[in-house]
Structure 1
Amino acid sequence: MGDRLAASLAARGLSTVQDLWFLLPLRYEDRTRLTAIADLRSGEPAQVEGTVEAVERGFRYRPMLRVAVGDGSHRTVVLRFFHFRAAQVAQFRPGVRLRCFGTPRPGQHGLEIVHPSYRVLAADEDPALGESLDPVYPSIEGVGPATLRKLIGQALEKLPPAEALELLPHGTPGLAGLPGLRESLLVLHRPAPGEDLAALGAGTHPAQRRLALEELLAHHLGLRRQRLAQQQLRARALDGPGELARRLRAQLPFALTGAQQRVYQQVRADLARPSPMQRLVQGDVGSGKTVVAALAATLAVEQGGQVALAAPTELLAEQHLANLRAWLEPLGIRVAWLAGKVTGKARAAALADVASGAAQVVVGTHALMQEGVAFHDLVLVIVDEQHRFGVQQRLALRDKGPAHGHVPHQLVMTATPIPRTLAMTAYADLDVSAIDELPPGRTPVQTVAVSADRRPELVERIRVACAEGRQVYWVCTLIEEAEEPGKGQGPGLQAQAAERTFEQLTAQLPGVRVGLVHGRMKASGKQAAMRAFKDGHTDLLVATTVIEVGVDVPNASLMIIENAERLGLAQLHQLRGRVGRGAAASSCVLLYQPPLSATARQRLDVLRRTGDGFVIAEEDLKLRGPGELLGTRQTGLAAFRIADLARDADLLPKVHQLADRLLTSAPDVADRVIARWIGGAARYAGA
């Protein structure tokens, strides 16, 4: 192939013949038979053959071409085109024979197919029907669909014999009843007319299961390898007496929960070893992860080392800074602040303190990872909401630690509880701890779902809450009217815009101080709006989902989430966690636009029933799949090509058994499985 075509494929990660084997179709089109126009069914793709009976070219909002095709059955189907050329119009003369493929839908005059694929037939032409289902591959910029099909066809001709292609030996547990790899690839690229299209569409066909098993195995092996490599590295054993930690616990105005004590002991045991800790601490919003991080920091400082804590936003980092200074400075521990807005002399002084070791704990944002930041002796890295950082950034921070042949211990925190099945697979390189108990005194947030037509009642409820000195969040899911309709919205869903809601509520609540924050504001504007709310200068904050991971405002006791049906469970739960952080009874109102889809109804019901983030995460996995939960694009886990962690969760026990077996008895095979499915991405997996 030419250089330009090769470059287009390489940009999509396709550089070998093997890559083309594993580029699987998104769906299939059945051109192996013809369907009579009278037998067409709405929503079912079909191939028809007939004669052009009428052509109409018009303009309603935009150019439109309608072609009526009949096959002698006294029924017609209309082909509708919105994008067409004059030469195309000339093809459609009455009497011309066509063979077309598409999905019929109800139109003004019976069924119609929008933008079908079609072929003009000569008067005496009778082309053969397809022998197998036609695959439809993902679109690749610069590569036409026909070219891609041809290339993949040529690649399949080079498939080696079954025994040469198979990496997993015959009789491998977990493969019983599944086809071999070669057979699976041929079935998926060239399925016979009798194959189960419904199973292929759902991803449950045995051929797909066979590939999913091997792909899940490759990812799991990659992470296990990463873990083994980490264990070969050396870290400073932080095994001091823990006197600073004891003093910190004594001065705290609250007692640790049982879950916090358990997780702290796990962290302490990890830090005492001479290999680097790799621990993920997950816990709901408000479960007290920061206190555990502070206790870990005292163990590092007691041994003369430095600690870095990175958070994804300045506001969240500032919150950690305030907590750590309040807890650690009375113990004589110096806490420094390094973020984008720290500039000039203040930045130079902070950098000098970090480089000399005078700053024992350094809190910051992405600024911590920049080249100019040098640590004296970094022994512990704490990353909050790690999935919000890019892989390169986390590697850059970890690489600031090596001193005397040591790498820093890593403690990762997340407020997004991760289901056990996901954690075992996606975080196989980490030990996972859960703070699954909220501090005493926390009142559960009462959650109700309310139709949008009851909005006036909510405005009155806000008036009463603010008059009593309480604060309120109103969360919107779009910023302004001009946002493109139809993107991520259900049909006809009129999502309220934050800016319009801000204007409306300001007019409806004259005595209430209303603030506005959304993602398109400059960082300084966002910070100012959030700070005004935190400091009590604003009563009602109208916001988009930028507050999902944000500040702690104990006085906020009412949250209204508009168009709640548009958000996933995990995100709704995160937003709800912004209230219920003080002593006052708190409420969350899920405002929805009827009618609700079945999935949206399930989501809102789950939230009403439980406040347990771990239960919600399991439900979210079932309803929505793993991509959102893991923030896959940023974790450094290469996206799955075939496997789906929610759909294929039942394969995971087999995957774990297989991985144990290969790592023990056939490490060379494990390497080849990783190389086939992940390649160079494996080195990022444990970043």
Structure 2
Amino acid sequence: MPTTSQHTDSKSAGSLGSEQLSQSVTALKGVGAALAEKLTKLHISTVEDLLFHLPSRYQDRTRVTPIGAVRRGDEAVVVGQVSLSEVIKGRRQTLIVRLQDGTGSITLRFFHFNTTQKKQFQKGALVRCYGEARPGASGLELYHPEYSLVAQDQPVAVEDHLTPIYPLTEGLTQNRLRQLIHLALAELKKAQVADWLPKSLFPNLPSLKESLFLLHEPPPDAPVFELQEYKHPSQHRLIIEELIAQQLSLLKLRQQHKHHRAPVFNGTGNLSKRMLDQLPFSLTGAQNRVIGEIQQDIQQASPMLRLVQGDVGAGKTLVAAMAALNAIEAGYQVAVMAPTEILAEQHFNNFTQWFTPLGLDVAWMAGKLKGKARQAQLDQIAAGAPMVVGTHALFQETVIFKNLGLIVVDEQHRFGVHQRLSLREKGQQGDLYPHQLIMTATPIPRTLAMSAYADLDTSVIDELPPGRTPIETVALADTRRDEIIQRVSAACHQGKQAYWVCTLIDDSEALQCQAAETTFADLKTRLQGLNIGLIHGRMKAQEKADIMAQFKANKLQLLVATTVIEVGVDVPNATLMVIENPERLGLSQLHQLRGRVGRGDQKSYCVLLYHAPLSRNGKARIAVMRDTQDGFQIAEKDLELRGPGEVLGTRQTGLAQMKIADLVRDQYLLEEVNVAANKLIQHHPEHLTPLVERWLEGAEQYAQV
């Protein structure tokens, strides 16, 4: 039961609704249909949406800086008299205006100007302008500054608050957006904004209304550094609310899911035992532990939602196979879905190899299947084929399962929450929902998992099978390309196999990348004694499958590829990988690629062939790859360098588009946020939907779950 103070909080929050704030933006002066349409691109449709469209940074235009005190990189308001104004003719005409104020001088430079502007800058005219000081031919310069003429006998006007800079969309200027938000703040003065966080949860933080006023129009004495670093209490207040909304959306999904019923798999374990007996190796302790965690879940009457993380080569697929056999023994079908046809085919081959000796059929479904072959597989699935492997083609309406009891999704971050939900709906039988097992070889940093996968239980396979040899990683400039080609030739002539990975299919001078097709042609010319294959994403699925089959059978010694080989490809004889332009890839992707070698008992190498000069981020990535093979360390660094949206993939909705929170910067708050989110669910369930709707796009799906 809620405490007395919590009950009071809840009651007051419910009475704070305001018609002024829920009305359409078209109710504001000057907002017509065309402007309203532009605002919808920023997900702004109501007055309250405007208030929650928060600044990304601030400029200080509240004071005039003496020109002599301006330093390189400063954004400042300066006022000076025109001492020179002239048009310089060259490749393009440039208007140069020299200002001085007695402390120093500065140049205004305009590449785009008209006759009226040119005439405004008469010698002796007093000009107020704002811009960023950059070094130029004549000292510090302001490029295209905002400016206005000042009457000689009038005081210089400055802003009465820090100037917010907002995220924009095409056709909308900062000034127009500031005007609209100023009108929204005027509405807020007359109204109340619903505060869905009870004061008892965060007693030391400012109110929501107070925070909104301060963040949109910070007073001149506001601590600019705190605001720029997102350390101000008002920002803290809104960051916490947004993180809680993110948590609630996923926790609510989890809660609703747990209320559903699922089939209970209480078998003898006979199939699992028979499969283990046929394996030429024993499972690791970590694999056995995770299998036990899964078995506990699938023996319950509520649907399992479990994420299994394991580094490259940790044996996740075998763990999934053991879970699948439990479902099949109980009389249910299992669907395994992978994001690419190469990975799906790898799974199909593995499951066929393991399950055929047990007398179990494995069906196949992918977009490339056509005509009679496709219909034969559809019929097999509808008739109850115990194991079905495929790509996202499994979502298609024509795919009908007889009694789907377990769904295994590989590399889930490539699909996203909503696709996971739609496959679950496909498996619904009356009031029973299938269990779900999610696998990823991209380790998710704990901080990110707490927010991105709050709807899942998590297991980690933190042990590699014995006999795996560490991969030696070296970084070399592409000026040493000839040397690397000789090294590849030597390895292949000794009976080894190698990958040469390119990051683009077509040549691009701008990105200075060697394309896969160009590299393939070059290597064929220079390594004439070797059989060389080419594989990339634009090839037909059957072509890709044929090339991979030849490489696995050692009919090809060298495979030139794009990043399509990132996951799932398992060729133990491949001991050397060259990755061109590794500076263009994220760390987790580099780690996945590197994991294609070192899969046998032979010493393996990965060469990062970079193009100089490297950026600071590029150097940091390469240093991490050289220093560690720990997927979790790499994932943490990747998160730090690239941010959560990139690490999870763009389809993971709700994370990359946060309005003020940042999962990396604000990770220290996540424990506190988890506690607060659970208290809201327990004591204030009526606050959940409006809070999520305020912050999250696609919140209507949350409300319907």
User: Structure 1 length normalisation: TM-score?
Assistant: 0.91
Report if the CA contact (8 A) 2:79-2:101 is conserved: no
Tell me what 1:67 maps to.
Answer: 96
Q: Where do residues 616-635 of structure 1 align in structure 2 (5 Å cutoff)?
A: 616-635=634-653
Kindly tell me: are residues 655 and 30 of structure 1, through their superposed partners in 2, closer, same or farther at Cα, counting changes over 3 Å?
same
Residue of structure 1 in register with 2:353 after alignment: 326
Alignment of 1:14-163 (within 5 A): 14-50=44-80, 51=82, 53-60=84-91, 63-73=92-102, 76-84=105-113, 88=117, 91=120, 97-121=126-150, 126-159=155-188
**AA at the equivalent of 1:388:** R
Number of the residue aligned with 1:491: none
Quote the offset at 1:593 in angstroms: 3.9
Q: 1:673: Cα distance to partner?
A: 2.7
Alignment check: 8 A CA contact 2:74 2:132 kept: yes
Out of 293, 306, 310, the residue aligned to residue 337 of structure 2 is 310
Please tell me the residue identity of whatever aligns with 1:662: L
Q: Quote the residue 1:611 is aligned against.
A: 629
**1:161-194 deviation line (CA, Å, top 9, x unaligned):** 8986433233425x53x33322222221112223
Aligned to 1:371: 397
Say which of 219, 226, 247 aligns to 1:192.
Answer: 219
- Distance in 2, matches of 1:519 and 1:686, equals 37
Cα deviation for residue 464 of structure 1 reads 0.9
What amino acid is aligned across from residue 581 of structure 1 in structure 2?
A: R
Write the mapping of 1:514-593 to structure 2, written as runs, cut at 5 A: 514-519=532-537, 526-527=544-545, 529-593=547-611
Q: Which letter does structure 1 place at the counterpart of 2:498?
A: V
Q: Matched residues in 1 for 2:342 and 2:148: separation?
A: 59
User: What is the rounded CA distance, in whole Å, between the counterparts of 1:507 and 1:463 in structure 2?
Assistant: 12
1:423 paired with 2:449, answer: yes
Letter in 1 for 2:97: A
Structure 1 residue 96: deviation in Å? 5.0
Which amino acid in 1 is paired with 2:658?
A: F
Equivalent position of 2:210 in the other structure? 183
Q: Give the C-alpha shift of residue 589 in structure 1.
A: 1.9
SS at match of 1:240: coil
Tell me how far 1:429 sits from its aligned partner. Answer: 0.7
Which of 197, 205, 209 pairs up with 2:232?
A: 205
The one-letter code sitting in structure 1 at the alignment partner of 2:48 is Q
Paired with 2:651 and 2:381, the residues of 1 have a C-alpha distance of 32
Q: Distance in 1 between matches of 2:213 and 2:155?
A: 28
Tell me the TM-score normalised to structure 2 length: 0.89
Unaligned runs of 5+ in 1: 486-493
Residue 676 of structure 2 is matched in structure 1 by 658
Identify the residue that residue 290 of structure 1 maps to in structure 2. Answer: 317
Find the aligned partners of 1:102 and 1:597 in 2 and give their Cα distance.
27
Indicate if the aligned counterparts of 2:72 and 2:133 stay in contact, CA closer than 8 A.
Answer: yes
1:448 counterpart residue number: 474
> What residue is the counterpart of 1:512 in the other structure?
530
CA contact (8 A) 2:240 2:669 kept: yes
> Which residue of 1 is the match for residue 201 of structure 2?
172
Partner residue, 2:21: none
Find the counterpart in structure 1 of residue 11 from structure 2: none
Asked if the contact 1:558/1:586 (under 8 Å) is kept, the reply is yes
Aligned pair partner of 1:439 in 465, 477, 484: 465
Cα separation, partners in 2 of 1:684 and 1:360, compared to 1, 3 Å: farther
**1:254 and 2:281 are equivalent in the alignment:** yes
Distance 1:243 1:525, change over 3 A: closer
Correspondence for 2:23? none
Residue identity (%) = 53
Task: Name the CA distance, whole Å, in 2 between partners of 1:122 and 1:511.
Answer: 82
- 8 A contact 1:223–1:686 mirrored in 2: no
Cα deviation digits, residues 125-170 of structure 1 (max 9, x gap): 6541111111111112343322211111111222268986433233
What's 1:489 paired with?
none
The runs of 5 or more residues in structure 2 that have no matched partner are 1-30
- 2:309 and 2:443 in contact (8 A); partners too: yes
Residues matched between the structures, number: 674
Of 495-504 and 19-28, more deviation after overlay is shown by: 495-504
> Secondary structure of the residue that 2:188 maps to in structure 1?
coil
Report SS of the residue matched to 2:254: helix
**Are the aligned partners of 1:52 and 1:67 in contact in 2 as well (CA < 8 Å)?**
no
Q: Structure 2 CA distance, aligned partners of 1:600 and 1:629?
A: 16
CA shift for structure 1 position 441: 1.0
Give yes or no for contact 2:362–2:388 (8 Å, CA) kept in 1.
Answer: yes
Which of 368, 387, 404 does residue 361 from structure 1 map onto?
387
| TM-aligned CA distance change 1:484 to 1:20, over 3 Å | farther
Partner amino acid, structure 1, of 2:267: G
Structure 1 distance, partners of 2:637, 2:125, is 54
How far off its partner does 1:623 sit? 3.5
Aligned residue among 432, 444, 463 for 2:489? 463
Q: What's the secondary structure of 1:579's corresponding residue?
A: coil
- Amino acid in structure 2 at the alignment position of 1:295: M
The 8 Å contact of residues 235 and 407 in structure 1, kept in 2 or not, is answered as yes
CA-CA distance at 1:33 after TM superposition:
1.9
| Paired residues of 1:162 and 1:182 also in contact (CA < 8 A) | no
Q: Give 1:305 deviation, angstroms.
A: 1.2
In structure 2, relative to structure 1, the CA distance for the partners of 1:536 and 1:43 (3 Å cut) is farther
Given the alignment, which residue of 423, 428, 436 partners 1:402?
428
